[in-house]
Amino acid sequence: MAKQISLFILFFGLSALNAFSQAQVKPTAGTNLYERALSACVIEQLKQYGGQSSETRLRLINRIIERDDILTDKLPTQFGEIKVEYLDRQSIVERYKKNRAEIPVTVMTPMKNEGKTLKISFRDYYVSYKKRVFSYALEGGCIVDFNFDSQLDDFAITKTDLWGV
């Protein structure tokens, strides 16, 4: 009987310890504000513009982000159904030469603060490369606002604004 009670206490203690340790661990996925902003932006653009045409939808679920050694480092290549490629300028030029058509490219800008709000902007361009000149034609973009939420002890997205030219 004492053996059964000891096993019961051991099992209960391990279960409680396991539950406690899981509650204390904060997830690391999605903690990067650039990752969260990019996710919010591409998902909102797909939601707003994805129904316009099959070509537009295809462009919005297969995204090219201009690679930045600091801003885009270690960002995911998938957000739900949206696939993301991070290409440097040389890779964009090679893609342009291969396709012989303008390439839709999103450029992420460094975070800035306005009062208590942190803003991360994205600009959508059509990129071409003619006569050894790299050209950007602005199409639109997205601005994602973050404010610190003391109840969550984290930054929360407060607004995702899409804009166009």
Give the model's pLDDT for residue 31.
Answer: 81
* Domain ranges for the chain: 31-164
Reply yes or no on whether the pLDDT at 35 is more than 50: yes
Contact (Cβ atoms closer than 8 angstroms) between residue 41 and residue 122: yes
Contact (Cβ atoms closer than 8 angstroms) between residue 144 and residue 118: no
pLDDT digits (tens, 9 = 90+) for 50-99: 999 999 999 999 999 999 999 999 999 999 999 999 999 999 999 999 99
Give the model's pLDDT for residue 115.
Answer: 95
pLDDT > 90 fraction of the chain, expressed in percent and rounded: 79
3-state secondary structure the chain: CHHHHHHHHHHHHHHHHHHHHHHHCCCCCCCCHHHHHHHHHHHHHHHHHCCCCHHHHHHHHEEEEECCCCCCCCCCCEECCEEEEEECHHHHHHHHHHHCCCEEEEEECCCEEECCEEEEEEEEEEEEEECCEEEEEEEEEEEEEEEEECCCCEEEEEEEEEEEC
pLDDT digits (tens, 9 = 90+) for 115-133: 999 999 999 999 999 998 9
Q: Is the pTM of this model over 0.85?
A: no
